[in-house]
């Protein structure tokens, strides 16, 4: 299991589930039957034409498909089946640059894993992207101690912040397709008018820490596409609506100040049982983002089957329907340039730990099964790429 997953709290996912449970007090069966009514008037057969890979089907429409190499090394470096599936299906690899791994102590950077993935990508004709430079999670102890120390000054934190971003971005300068410069800066539940999350970066550097991060990254690598990445935006719920509004305002502010931000990443961690999906609201949000001149990436796509039936065939069908319905909406937006799943095979997914099923059966959220065979979710993605308008 990847290093960062051991440390990742089951935070957003369970918050999302909790919010959902409080809003839709439907009996399980009616929620499931609602889903069936909403999703399929008549069974979809998910048939695809030909045998070409997801990367080839995406490329035919000017899109990039790829994945996060869950698990990160060393498991990835030892699983040759995973590697060959990755090379076959993926045109981009997003490596984890979590502070806990990339700067484990104040004067020490560790590039072992990220160098491995940069080389793997380069050796196999796969684009390389980094995620995230600045986040509020997976902060190493030495930095948390500084955050908690009342003697710590803002200028000290700014020096650490600047050194971290520039050291990492310069190291991979010219070799990176894109960086998630800042991840998950929105938290409307924190009550600020601007909807920003009250994290340590904001406490020490103010709300402009986001702008600062982009300016440092742009100076360190003028070629890289610089992305703001966000979660909890996909559904027709009051919380996601509030988050969409706050995210759009943040992007508008950044653009109005001439901040070097080039793209927006929508994580897209989807829930197979979630029926509150309004295509038109999502379309409008993406159109509003695109109207700012920003490209859009689907950055962490997966579909949790945590609350779906026991039966694998039934689960796979619902998961595939969610993949196809979601992608058919987002790929209508010509500014969407990439689709990245958070993992490739069910053998390795963060959801096994972050959101296990109550019946303890293995989860099945990704395009390939645990034996790297293509599932209906793969078919659904292939169909979505085949039917997408060409960029
Ligand atoms: C969030 C983060 C990712 C990753 C996933 C879970 O979506 O953006 O970096 O940690 O959680 O693996």
Residue 12 counted as domain residue: no
Residue 52 in domain: yes
Supply the pLDDT for residue 35.
44
Residues with CB under 6 A from ligand 1: 4-5, 8, 131, 183, 231, 267, 269, 300, 350
Mutate to test the pocket of ligand 1, among 342, 354, 356 (most ligand atoms within 8 A of CB): 342
Using an 8 Å Cβ cutoff, are 247 and 234 in contact?
Answer: no
Which protein residue has the closest C-alpha to ligand 1 atom 12? 350
- Residue 43's pLDDT is what? 75
CA-nearest residue, atom 11 of ligand 1? 8
In a domain, 33, yes or no: no
Q: Which two tokens stand for residue 42?
A: 């008549």
The band of 111, judged by pLDDT with boundaries at 50, 70 and 90, is: very high
Long-range contacts at 365-370 (CB < 8 A, ≥ 24 apart): 365/272, 365/302, 365/303, 365/304, 365/305, 365/319, 366/302, 366/341, 367/54, 367/89, 367/323, 367/341, 368/85, 368/89, 368/344, 369/345, 370/345, 370/346
Q: What is the CATH number of the domain that holds 197?
A: 3.20.20.80
Residue 20 lies in a domain: no
Confidence of residue 14 (pLDDT cuts 50, 70, 90): very low
For residue 75, name the pLDDT band (cuts at 50, 70, 90).
confident
Mean pLDDT of 102-113: 97
**Residue ID of nearest Cα to ligand 1 atom 8:** 183
Region 171-197: mean pLDDT is: 98
Mean pLDDT, residues 25-31 taken together: 35
**pLDDT of the residue at 190:** 98
| pLDDT, tens only, 308-322 | 999 999 999 999 999
Ligand 1 centroid vs 49 CA: distance in angstroms?
Answer: 33
* Chain Cα centroid distance, residue 146: 29
- Number of structural domains found in the chain: 1
Residue 19 inside a domain? The answer is: no
For position 320, what pLDDT does the model report?
Answer: 97
Q: Which residues of 64-88 are buried (b: 16+ CB within 10 A; e: fewer)?
A: bbbbbbbbbbeebbebeebeebbbe
Range of the domain at 187: 41-387
pLDDT of residue 73: 65
At 312 the pLDDT is 95
pLDDT one-digit tens code per residue, 133-152: 999 999 999 999 999 999 99
Arithmetic mean of pLDDT over the chain: 91
CA 314/CA 190 separation, integer angstroms? 38
Note whether residue 46 is domain-resident: yes
Q: In angstroms, what is the span from residue 376 Cα to ligand 1's centroid? A: 24
Between CA 366 and CA 302 the distance in angstroms is 6
Q: Would residue 97 count as lying in a domain?
A: yes
Name the residues annotated as catalytic.
Answer: 184, 300
- Give me ligand 1 centre to Cα 359, in Å: 24
State the distance from the centre of ligand 1 to the C-alpha of 140, rounded, in angstroms: 16
What are 198-235's pLDDT values in tens digits? 999 999 999 999 999 999 999 999 999 999 999 999 99
pLDDT of residue 13: 52
For the stretch 222-269, pLDDT in tens is 999 999 999 999 999 999 999 999 999 999 999 999 999 999 999 999
Locate the ligand 1 atom nearest the alpha carbon of residue 350 and give its number.
12
Instruction: Please report the pLDDT score of residue 8 as a whole number.
Output: 55
Q: What's the gap in Å between 40 CA and the centre of ligand 1?
A: 30
Per-residue pLDDT of 34-70, as tens digits, reads: 444 334 534 788 999 999 999 999 999 999 999 999 7
In a domain, 75, yes or no: yes
């Amino acid at each position: 299991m990847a290093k960062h997953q051991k440390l990742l709290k089951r935070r957003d996912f369970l918050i999302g589930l909790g919010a959902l449970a409080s809003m839709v007090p439907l009996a399980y069966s009616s929620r499931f039957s609602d889903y069936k009514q909403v999703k399929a008037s008549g069974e979809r057969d998910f048939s695809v034409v030909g045998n070409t890979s997801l990367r080839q089907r995406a490329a035919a429409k000017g899109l990039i498909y790829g994945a996060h190499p869950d698990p990160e090394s060393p498991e990835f470096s030892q699983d040759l089946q995973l590697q060959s599936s990755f090379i076959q299906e993926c045109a981009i690899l997003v490596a984890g640059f979590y502070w806990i791994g990339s700067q484990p102590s104040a004067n020490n950077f560790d590039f072992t894993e990220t160098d491995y993935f940069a080389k793997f990508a380069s050796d196999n004709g796969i684009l390389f992207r980094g995620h995230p430079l600045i986040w509020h999670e997976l902060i190493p102890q030495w930095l948390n101690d500084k955050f908690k120390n009342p003697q710590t000054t803002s200028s000290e934190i700014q020096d650490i912040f600047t050194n971290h971003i520039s050291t990492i971005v310069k190291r991979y300068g010219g070799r990176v397709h894109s960086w998630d410069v800042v991840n998950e800066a929105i938290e409307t539940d924190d009550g600020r008018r601007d909807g920003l999350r009250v994290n340590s970066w904001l406490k020490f550097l103010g709300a402009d820490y986001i702008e600062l991060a982009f300016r440092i990254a742009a100076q360190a690598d003028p070629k890289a596409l610089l992305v703001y990445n966000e979660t909890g935006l996909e559904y027709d719920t009051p919380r996601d609506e509030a988050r969409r509004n706050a995210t759009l305002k943040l992007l508008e502010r950044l653009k109005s100040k001439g901040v070097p931000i080039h793209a927006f990443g929508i994580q897209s961690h989807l829930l197979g049982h979630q029926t509150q999906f309004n295509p038109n609201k999502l379309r409008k949000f993406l159109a509003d983002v695109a109207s700012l001149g920003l490209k859009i990436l689907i950055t962490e796509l997966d579909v949790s089957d945590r609350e779906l039936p026991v039966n694998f065939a039934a689960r796979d069908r619902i998961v595939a329907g969610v993949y196809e319905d979601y992608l058919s909406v987002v790929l209508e937006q010509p500014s969407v340039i990439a689709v990245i799943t958070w993992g490739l095979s069910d053998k390795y997914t963060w959801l096994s730990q972050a959101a296990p099923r109550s019946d303890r059966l293995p989860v099945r959220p990704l395009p390939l099964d645990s034996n790297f065979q293509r599932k209906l979710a793969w078919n659904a993605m292939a169909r979505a790429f085949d039917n997408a308008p060409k960029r």
